[in-house]
Structure 1
Amino acid sequence: MTRTVRRATVDDCWEIHEVARESWHGAYDDVLGAERVDDVVSDWYAIGDLESAITGTNGRENAVFLVAESATADAATGTDLEPALEGFAHAVPWPEDASVAFLARLYVRPDRWREGVGTALLEHLETLLSRAFDRLRLAVLASNAVGISFYESRGFERLKTRDSDLGSGLEEHVYEKSLPAVDE
């Protein structure tokens, strides 16, 4: 299997939408309920919005939308099969601080968790963003143990806890890490 991380194109939108649906159900069904997860994914990952988010990052150093895909070979024929999208990441400038990038989205299909997909996306994203930003910030629901473990193991430190926009009683943690300095 060969994994590739590349910039997303509008042709990826449906697969990105499906990765989001699978990931959200895997992480949040027990917290939000399956019906609420479907509503959130339909709203936050509408195809038109994904197309705008992807095209909005084209040609920019301070915003990026990446996908990770893997390709395998057919065992019988040895021919390469169509690459399968495993995950995606999207980052934009933090509105209140020009030195901070905001990791708006990083999701991986649950059957690919702990296989290095998220790490590959994050490392590629950090390399691209380090030219324009000093730090990378994100928010993750306090109940998302998989997400919290992932981010903390990659050097993110919790800055604060705040109420989530997803409903009363839900909290999210805000994390941040320094980006590597760019040698010029």
Structure 2
Amino acid sequence: MTSPAIRPARPADAAGIRRVARESWHAAYDDIIGAETVDDTIDRWYDPDRLRESARRPSHEFFVAERDRLVGFVHVAPDAEEGEEKSIFELVRIYVVSDEWGSGLGTRLLVRAERRLEDRNADRLRLTVLADNEVGVGFYESRGFERIEEREDAALGVAEFVYEKEL
């Protein structure tokens, strides 16, 4: 099987991004927050119009991995809490279909985004992950992220970790 190609996301990718998100969220989160909550969250957080807008924004870096169809994506944006300070970016989302877990695709997507941020003179990349998402926590820690905070996710009512990495 050929390795998926990574390219910048386009507005037309919104449906594929949403499909990948739904599949990977169910695989990662059904046992943590329940399938119904996963579906509700995907419907809110992966609105096709918002995804298309994110793909168009020059301040965002949004890449997809594609074989015959989309199989993963990564999206980073200036950290909203930092205001005009553009040196800290947030890893908004990174997901690959569960069939690709352990294949190195997530790492390839992350590296692609990190390289773009380095080109933009970003200093740090920050993210949040549900504390019970062992796959996600393991992935981020193996990629050099350090846990800097534990808090409650206000929307989901579960513990989450904040991680950060110097670029």
TM-score (norm 2): 0.93
Q: CA RMSD in A?
A: 1.1
Structure 2 counterpart of 1:74: none
Query: 1:3 deviation in Å?
Result: 2.2
Q: 1:140 pairs with 129, 140, 156, which one? A: 129
Structure 1 counterpart of 2:55: 54
Aligned partners of 2:54 and 2:60 also within 8 Å: no
Q: Give me the whole-angstrom Cα distance separating, in 1, the residues matched to 2:35 and 2:81.
A: 34
Structure 2 counterpart of 1:182: none
Q: Counterpart amino acid of 1:103?
A: L
Q: 2:113 pairs with 119, 125, 135, which one? A: 125
Query: 1:64 deviation in Å?
Result: 0.5
What SS does the aligned partner of 2:93 have?
Answer: strand
Query: 1:31 deviation in Å?
Result: 1.2
Q: Give me the whole-angstrom Cα distance separating, in 1, the residues matched to 2:60 and 2:56.
A: 10
Q: 1:172 pairs with 150, 153, 160, which one? A: 160
Structure 2 counterpart of 1:69: 66
**Percent of aligned positions with the same letter in both sequences?**
46
Structure 2 counterpart of 1:80: none
Aligned partners of 2:62 and 2:75 also within 8 Å: yes
Aligned partners of 2:153 and 2:160 also within 8 Å: yes
TM-score (norm 1): 0.85
Aligned partners of 1:86 and 1:117 also within 8 Å: no
Q: Give me the whole-angstrom Cα distance separating, in 2, the residues matched to 1:32 and 1:141.
A: 10
Q: 1:112 pairs with 100, 119, 128, which one? A: 100
Query: 1:130 deviation in Å?
Result: 0.9
Structure 1 position 93 matched with structure 2 position 78: yes
Q: Give me the whole-angstrom Cα distance separating, in 2, the residues matched to 1:32 and 1:42.
A: 15
Q: Which has more radius of gyration?
A: 1
- Offset from partner CA, 1:132-161 (integer Å, 9 cap, x none): 211100000001000000000000000000
Aligned partners of 2:71 and 2:96 also within 8 Å: yes
Aligned partners of 1:161 and 1:173 also within 8 Å: yes
Aligned positions, number: 162
Structure 1 position 162 matched with structure 2 position 151: yes
**Which segments of 5 or more consecutive residues in structure 2 lack a partner in the other structure?**
none
Structure 2 counterpart of 1:77: none
Query: 1:117 deviation in Å?
Result: 1.0
